[in-house]
Amino acid sequence: MKPKDLKSAFSFEQRRPCLLDQVFYVPIYYQNYDSFKLPAFYDYFANHHPVHVEYCSGNGDWIVEKAKQYPYKNWIAVEKRFDRVRKIWAKAKNLSLTNLLIVSGEALTFTLHYLPNQSIEEAYINFPDPWPKSKHAKNRLIQNPFLNELARILKPGKSMSIVTDDRNYATQTVSLFCAHKDFTPFFPPPYFCLNREDYGTSWFEQLWKEKGRQIHYLQFTKK
């Protein structure tokens, strides 16, 4: 399979939530999300294995490797750019990964409308767009509304991991999570580390390392 083999499920005018060929489409600028019910995880995956979700999946390198490495875990890749969704889909198809669901949609919208309470074992955000200009800060994924949803979907005692090359975004993320009543930092001050050998890698990680950028690994535990 090649990325171009995946065609968009609908035109903008015909947009609607739908699940087709391992991809769950969550359209933007749509009002009636609750008209579609995503199957329960044990029905979709045909097992009761724990479910892990990665936001900002990019080209899928990190999560595809995880799904291949841990077949007794179920994985959800969330990516809003369709060109990247196609690349994740092609990789999953070529490796026959049945434990990976791909979400073509925005992270907060998908989480808010389709993830049940305490349904996720672990969550990850790999290299979210830092939107570095102050006038664009409102577009950042890691803000309190999203943290509230993460607290709702994560099982108690489980973790949320974030990876970023942007020191300012890392500092802001630490402040938000430390101030939230439902999370506690996993690492001691400054609440991140600069190396995690067991974490896995991605296209973005390799890119920023080649450019000499320092990678920040953050982790917070749901109380």
Q: Does the N-terminal peptide bond of residue 130 adopt cis geometry, omega within 30 degrees of 0?
A: no
What would you report as the CA-atom Rg of the chain, rounded to the nearest whole angstrom?
A: 17
Catalytic residue among 83, 129, 165, 182: 129
Residue 86: phi, psi to the nearest 5? -60, -35
Q: DSSP state, 161?
A: E
pLDDT for residue 198 = 87
pLDDT for residue 203 = 83
Whether the pLDDT of residue 72 is over 90: the answer is yes
The percentage of the chain sitting over the pLDDT mark of 90, rounded to a whole number, equals: 84
Higher-scoring residue by pLDDT: 8, 183 = 183
The string of pLDDT tens digits covering residues 13-48 is 899 999 999 999 999 999 999 999 999 999 999 999
> Would you tell me the crossing angle of helices 144-153 and 167-179 to the nearest 10 degrees?
60
One-letter amino acid for residue 152 of the chain: R
The domain defined by 22-30+45-222 folds into: Rossmann fold (3.40.50)
Question: Between β-strands 159-164 and 216-222, what pairing exists: parallel, antiparallel or unpaired?
Answer: antiparallel
Spell out the domain ranges in the chain. 22-30+45-222
Whether the pLDDT of residue 134 is over 90: the answer is no
Mean pLDDT along residues 93-120? 97
The percentage of the chain sitting over the pLDDT mark of 70, rounded to a whole number, equals: 99
Is 129 considered catalytic here? yes
Neighbouring-strand partners of residue 170: none
Whether the pLDDT of residue 137 is over 90: the answer is no
Three-state DSSP class for residue 136? helix
Q: How confident is the model at residue 59 (pLDDT cuts 50, 70, 90)?
A: very high
Higher-scoring residue by pLDDT: 196, 137 = 196
What is the rounded end-to-end Cα distance, in angstroms, of the chain? 42
pLDDT for residue 205 = 85
pLDDT for residue 132 = 73
pLDDT for residue 115 = 98
pLDDT for residue 212 = 85
* Ranges 17-21, 137-141, 183-187: which has the least confidence: 137-141
Whether the pLDDT of residue 133 is over 80: the answer is no
- The answer to whether 163 and 125 have CB atoms below 8 angstroms apart is yes
Three-state DSSP class for residue 91? helix
Cβ neighbours of 143 (radius 10 Å): 15
